[in-house]
Structure 1
Amino acid sequence: MLTYQDVVTIDLTPLTTAAGKWDEMATSFHTLETDYKNSVQSVAEDGVWLGLSANTASGQFAATGKQYAAAQVEAKAIASLLRDAHTQFVTLVKAVKDVVTQAQADEMIVDGQGKATWDSAKYQSSRNDPDYPAFQRKRYDAATEWTRRIDTAVKAVDDADQGAKLALTQAAGGNKGVIPGLPNQQYGFNGAAVGDIELYEAQKAQDIATRINSGEKVSAADYAELNRSFRDNAGNKAFSQTFLAGLGTDGTIKLSNKLNSKEHQDLERGLANTVAGATQVPGKTSEMPPGSKKFNEWLNSPDGRFYKEWTESLDKSGTKNFGSNTQPLHGYQSFVSMMQHADADYDDQFLYQLGDDLIAAEKEHEGIFTKWGGGWEEKGIESDPIDGLLGVMSKNPEAATAFFDPQGNGPAGDHVGNDHLKYLLGSGDDSREWPKNVITGYGVATYDDYTSRIGLGAALEAATTGREPNSAGAAFDQHSEAQARVMQETITVLDKDDKGDAIEQNLKAPLGRALADYTMDTHAILRGDGPGDSSGIKANGEDSSITNDKHSLLRVMRGVSDAAYGTTPGGEPVLVYDLLYENQKLYSAEYLSTARGAEGDQQNNVVGDWDNKARNVGEVYGAMTAIGSDMILDDRDTKIGNLNDAMRYTYHGVGGLFTQIPVVGDPIQRMVDAATYEYSKDVSAAAEDVARSKDSRATTAGIGGTNALMDAWGSTRGVQGTEAHEHAKGEAQQSFITGREDAYSALRTRK
């Protein structure tokens, strides 16, 4: 194996020099071939020499002539391989040196073995700083990471070196192109040699994979070679397509089953990355969706031939049973399970088409994705490939958005519609019947699959936010028109027949995070400023907004709120409701901060803008309080336990647990900090008020959080206690009651 020192000191010039010599050799062999044909071979063919000896000589002369031709092919191939290797090495060696430069810029010293060590000399004077030990640990961790990155870059050079060695050996040896009957034929020139390293690697990898599939004993060295080929050719379309075409879709599925073990997880990742590399399509789903005229034209082009043939074959292999009669294992289940191991990006059009194909297969073959028996998760098999694919899709948010966009994709003439969202998220009306788990034994028992819809939730979060699930980077706005359309339709579909508060458990947390990302929009809808039109979004490029009906939104927010989001460092439960409340509080503070200024004399009068913003904030707080108290009062949620106890952690700093809370400026954060309040008191007070009497519609139960925020706003503005501030606070209190009561009318608390 190449060392770090080998890589950073190597001189690559001899490769191109040698390539030139091999080209010269090919030219010389061409000259020899011409001379031989004219001066030697012609003697046996000019009709002067006759008889048995002439016939024998003619055959031998012809064989020798073909060797001269084969020698030219081999020499040219080797020249090409050397140049190919040089190009790869230049890029990869530079990558090693670039990583070293970056490490040095990060105050690292890199030694002759490629090990990075933190250069702490400039921090000698800081050693007594109380924060120094923590800082030191971070720098040591950084050094370890830089060493790993350097090692990975060096390994990539070694992988390429092994690939070049394999290709040169194959081009110069073997029995390819050898002419039968030639003395010592095993030493003949290779007239079938090619100047493509990746082709030889793919052929070798295919040979190893075929032997694995057939059950032959495969050496550890061959497994290592297969793994090296996958690593070395990650993202290489030529290698990937050559390998997969030779293996076929049946063979690919069989190989994924053979590699589905902890022992071979690197190989399965390599196979998944190979599939990702082979199925890349030009353009995007939004421009050239599968099924469009433009997409079909590409399919029928030379560039699209592999994709077309391979995906058509996958359709057939996907519905085959590779398992037993008692526990079927269909090809699509294995294939998607393998895809989940990839760390490369799958093409959005491939994901879209595969999703369509899976849905079509499910409709054509009823019950094909039923989970028979147990142990699927332990075996690493995704019993529901549709949900599994959606999980893969969640890592490519743009693909997820296009897949769910109710408007469809593509410009006029290439537009393709879809009903993926309604089919997968809806109920009744030809929506999907999600697969069950069937257990057999003394009898047959059918259960809901506890893993059901995990992928759907992740994909919807990605589709609506434009980020991978549970990732940082939330903002109060910045949603594309397509993302907003998916969010709008999601709320509409979930609230069909006013049932938005009854959401599947595995959808609650991801949809809660998605709703938190739309806090600016939901704040507007809850305060009554939204259009309340479920038919369309407010389109504005990358700052588009949802416009759902207020009651629909309330029910869906209620539906996700009771799910466990996580736990505090002390092990206390945190609910999705906490996330939604925190974001509404933060945005309310930002919203109040935009109230216009008022001079001293104006503060002794009513300030209209203050009143308006206070009313809006009060209405939102009232709605959020109603959602929380509904959870306590609703006996449908006894499984949650005592929610009154579960919703008390925000004031202990639980906000730090949420990645979906945007970063705001210091003035707003100070206002929020000043407004710290145990909001579970509001929730429980409102719930108790409702429980005591149905005539509680005029009470201010639960107003504490609203008052705390208004006081914090007044304090930070230096206007607390003024007539204008007190009047605005009173407006907030009245609107709090309005918002709370309106929310109750949408929920089931009083029904």
Structure 2
Amino acid sequence: MTTDLSTLTTAADRWDGMAKEFHKQETAYGKNVHGITLGPSWTGFSGDAAQKRLGITLKEFQKAQVEAKAIASLLRDAHTQFVDLRKKLESARDDAIAAGMKVSDQGLVSYDTGKLSPGDRQALAHDPDYQDSVRKSVASWQASIDQHVKDVGDADKDVEFALQTVVVDTDVTDGTLNGFNGKAQGDLSTYKAEEPPEDKAHTKTDGWQWHGKGTVTGPSAGASASGPKYGKEGSAKVFADLEHLTGKGTLSNGDLELSTVGDLEVGARASASGAMTDKGISGSVETSAGARALVEGRAEYGYLGGAYVRGTGFDGAEAQAGAGAGLDGLNAKAKAFAGAKAGVAGGGEVAGIGAGATAEGWAGAGAEAGVTFGKGDDGKFHIGAKVGVALGLGGAVGAEFTVDPHKVSAAASDAADAVGGAVDAVGDAASSLKDDFTSLL
């Protein structure tokens, strides 16, 4: 909870810098050392031998860049994943406290009797049903906290395994037995900690693999407040959930991953937050009551691209207003609605550049408008807008464009490697042809 995760992105920047330095050395070596073997003054067996041996070293400089960039990408993926998992753990802890629990620094959940009224204290001491409900509630929140902690631990193992495996030279035909890994991948999903350490192929298990889980919580209610902290930053919320069901599953085969998620929530909540820090200023207020549902399916193939389709539904009343501006961009949103609405959204991504659209049908009264421009918590750059209005019947439409700089970089790197490989092949062919003509003369 207290780890400075920014050190991961700092390290990633240093690894990108290392790749640039390897590129400088590749250029110098290719010109001043390996380049000597390509001229007309060195022919025969010694020239052939030198060209092959020095060519191996030249390719090692190229593979070193691939490996360094992959490590940088893995570190950024790890940062994004750990930030998200820690936020979920913090949210679960805050929700447990809002529901009347105490959570120790070691993650131990207990019932907070300090907030009980005299009547509740009496019931806790003498009412078996009340005692049983308390035990079940504590056990439920403890299981939630434990699962979030386990998720962080599992992610940590995956990152450790990835960093150990990405440096293994898997090509036994490249002239080196323990060189740089020219096939290094910068996507954490490529590596699975469940594989035995002696398996140096560092690829996913062949065949289709399925993973899934679901949770059911409620009824529950509570309130929480925090701040000011980290400059001038604070938030408050109150909630009452009748039922909250979530489920998700993933079917994968190599780089191909198919996933689905479903979420159903019935209850009411209100929240307010504001911040004025070195990253910018922001503020929002939100309230809603009713039933909300979501189902989504995705198909992705590594960093090359993917597509998604999502369906949503809402029946109740909601209102929201918020805005923010900072170094990473700006956003603003306002909406108020009472009634029922259903929507569908879809989009796709190719090599880190994505586009999506959404459409909703409304039966009720309300209006909505929002705009986003800048970098989001997922590390992507978002440009989007949404507008809607209804008085009886109506709807909303929206669109968004995203750019994932790390996926764009990975795709560009592979493209450059492909071009470089083609150039090397042409150069080798030309050199071989030159030697053939020389031997004939």
| TM-score normalised by length of structure 2 | 0.47
* Structure with larger RCO (C-alpha < 8 A, sep 6+): 2
Is the strand fraction higher in 1 or 2? 2
Pair member with larger Rg? 1
